[in-house]
Amino acid sequence: MKKLLIVFVAMLGLVLAACNGQTKEETPEKPGVETPGETTQTPEETQTPEEAPEISKSVIEKAVTSTKDNMMIEDATAEVKDNTVNLFVTVSDASIDMKYAEQTGEEFANLLASNYAEENASASKLWDMYDLTITIGTDKDNPVIKGSKTTDADKIKW
């Protein structure tokens, strides 16, 4: 009987560890990645930037702080102007791998969207309301790679 109980507790622990406690609502959104079974919103269902809640400084600061934890990144900034969110990441070396640079920019955008969703649970997805530009470079005058996504696009175009 004890062996059966130990096996049951071990299996229960594995199931709980695999679930990780995240529900669909808590999973951070990725620009350009649609969840299976999820339907794309029609233009009537999306909020315009005028209706969208403002992206708070705390949301931006959390995303910037997390992005700057990467050793290759010297600085990260996010700026909201009209209906566009501009992300800029300063890297220490211009010879950064392009795939890694794209991944870094996408992670920054995902962090911002995730933090925004936590603060504005009733709002539409961030990238359905705001256009996005991402610049990775050694400074603002020397971009290594640029990407952008409009509200009607499915993914970031590099």
pLDDT for the residue numbered 39: 45
Instruction: Output the pTM of the full model.
Output: 0.67
- Domain assignment present for residue 116? The answer is yes
- Domain assignment present for residue 92? The answer is yes
pLDDT for the residue numbered 36: 45
Residues 149, 140 contacting (CB under 8 angstroms): no
Q: What is the count of structural domains for the chain? A: 1
- Domain assignment present for residue 128? The answer is yes
Choose among 122, 107, 111: nearest CA to 51: 122
- Domain assignment present for residue 22? The answer is no
Sign (positive or negative) of CA dihedral 149, 85, 133, 62 = negative
- Domain assignment present for residue 30? The answer is no
- Domain assignment present for residue 45? The answer is no
Residue 87 host element (H or E): strand 84-91
pLDDT for the residue numbered 54: 87
Q: What is the pLDDT along the chain (158 residues), one digit of tens a residue?
A: 666 657 656 665 655 555 555 544 455 555 554 444 444 444 444 455 456 678 999 999 999 999 999 888 999 999 999 899 999 999 988 888 999 999 999 999 999 999 999 988 877 889 999 999 999 999 888 999 999 999 999 899 99
Domain residues for the domain of 138 are: 54-158
Choose among 106, 112, 116, 113: nearest CA to 136: 106
- Domain assignment present for residue 83? The answer is yes
CA–CA dist 29, 107 (Å, integer): 10
CATH of the domain at 93: 3.30.300
pLDDT for the residue numbered 68: 92
Angle between helices 57-68 and 98-119 (to 10 degrees): 150
CA–CA dist 136, 141 (Å, integer): 11
- Domain assignment present for residue 46? The answer is no
Sign (positive or negative) of CA dihedral 36, 40, 45, 51 = positive
